Amino acid sequence: MKIRSFTSAVVAAASLALALTVSGCGGDASSAAGTLKVGWVVDPCWSQVPVAADLGYFDETGVKVDIVPFPTGAAALEALAGGGVDVATGGDVPTAAAALKNPRVRVIADGARWAEGRFIARRSAGIDSIDDLAGRRIAVPLGSSAHYFATKFLAEANVQAELVQTGPAEIVTAVTNGDVDAVAVFQPALAKVVAALGSDAVQLQGKEKYSQHSLYLTNADTLSAKQDELADFVSALQKADQPLQDRDPAALAAVAKATGLDQELIAGVAEEFTFKTELGPELAADLADRARWAQSIGRVPQDAQIPDYNTVIVDSVLAGGNQ
């Protein structure tokens, strides 16, 4: 089992490999028989991957894994589409869009749910409720799960605000400098904002919570050729579930090391997640909802045919891992 250290140089190399694959210059860069190349987004949402690597669960199930870090789910999914990786991690919003573009993408597992999406605003800006966001500037990574719940919560409250494209790495600076009055972002950037604002932070959540899915995906060809390896991979993820749910220090340390984040911050973020590798009955409807939202805001063509996501989700890998 091989795991590549997360450094800016490695992410740059992964981005270059992605560019070559997508442009057609790199050919099929997926792994050899018996090995899975996993495009892992460097994010606690997919904590099972570093935990399974460091605690030996991949070795226990007998799967050889080459973990390639990616900065975003969209980038990992592009690599999957181009044949650069066998498995990719991605949230429900980019996954729903990816399935519109690539009919061969398959969801094989949902590793975690996060139902704590929320705005973080500056109390000193006179904000105490979502109603107070009317006319305000809100930093958000557009096209992401945070963009989804931001528009959902604002529409629910019948509030109009200005959403400002801001990458997760720039979110903290944007709100602490006063360039924006609030942010909508996912973890762990959200926790960093709360820590930076301290007592000035006010946290605002809509009435109907948004539950983010942390998905594992492959393509139809890999599903056919590497069913056993995929089943062993998912089995290792399931072994990592309980240590994460128990907030086992060794598991949290593995996530902290892989993400380059402080272990105390990781512990706080982990408290908001349910780590259980499964495929829930609500997933297909949730993906269809995300696809309709993407169409409604022009992120995907209006004439794009929304698939039956039940055909995108395959439970044979998870069933194999449970045997």
Q: When comparing pLDDT for 311 and 298, which is higher? A: 311
Write down the pLDDT at residue 321: 60
226 shares its domain with 244: yes
Determine contact, residues 56/224, Cβ cutoff 8 Å. no
278 shares its domain with 195: no
What lies within 8 Å, CB to CB, of 58 at 6+ separation is 1, 52, 64, 65, 232, 233, 236
Write down the pLDDT at residue 23: 34
DSSP3 helix / strand / coil % (the chain, rounded to 5): 50, 20, 30
13 shares its domain with 150: no
Write down the pLDDT at residue 30: 59
86 shares its domain with 129: no
Please provide the average confidence, as pLDDT, over all residues in the chain.
Answer: 90
Q: Is the pLDDT of residue 280 over 90?
A: yes
Q: Is the pLDDT of residue 293 over 80?
A: yes
The string of pLDDT tens digits covering residues 25-45 is: 334 555 777 799 999 999 999
Q: Is the pLDDT of residue 198 over 90?
A: yes
Q: Is the pLDDT of residue 285 over 50?
A: yes
The confidence band for 302, taking pLDDT boundaries of 50, 70 and 90, is confident
The confidence band for 229, taking pLDDT boundaries of 50, 70 and 90, is very high
Q: Which two tokens stand for residue 11?
A: 């992410």
Q: Which residue type does 229 have?
A: E
16 shares its domain with 157: no
193 shares its domain with 239: no
217 shares its domain with 316: yes
133 shares its domain with 98: no
Per-residue pLDDT, averaged over 51-58, amounts to 98
Write down the pLDDT at residue 304: 87
92 shares its domain with 12: yes
102 shares its domain with 230: yes
Domain limit, last residue, from 185, 204, 223: 204
Q: Which residue type does 232 have?
A: D
Q: Is the pLDDT of residue 204 over 60?
A: yes
The confidence band for 258, taking pLDDT boundaries of 50, 70 and 90, is very high
Write down the pLDDT at residue 298: 87
The confidence band for 208, taking pLDDT boundaries of 50, 70 and 90, is confident
Determine contact, residues 102/130, Cβ cutoff 8 Å. no
Domain limit, last residue, from 204, 232, 247: 204
Determine contact, residues 183/175, Cβ cutoff 8 Å. yes
- Burial annotation 256-278 (CB, 10 A radius, 16+ → b, else e): bbbbebeeebbeebbebbebbbb
Q: Is the pLDDT of residue 235 over 90?
A: yes
Per-residue pLDDT, averaged over 242-264, amounts to 96
Q: Is the pLDDT of residue 15 over 90?
A: no
pTM for the model: 0.88
Q: At 252, which CATH number?
A: 3.40.190.10
Q: Which two tokens stand for residue 282?
A: 């609500």
27 shares its domain with 105: yes
* Rounded CA separation 218/68 (Å): 14
Percentage of the chain beyond pLDDT 70 is 89
241 shares its domain with 314: yes
Domain that holds residue 20: 2-114+211-321
Write down the pLDDT at residue 322: 60
The string of pLDDT tens digits covering residues 140-171 is: 999 899 999 999 999 999 999 999 999 999 99
Write down the pLDDT at residue 29: 53
Tokens 């009317």 correspond to: 134
Strand-strand pairing, 105-114 and 273-278: antiparallel
Count of structural domains, the chain: 2
Domain limit, last residue, from 183, 204, 225: 204
Per-residue pLDDT, averaged over 106-125, amounts to 97
- The residue among 106, 107, 156 whose CA lies nearest residue 131 is 156
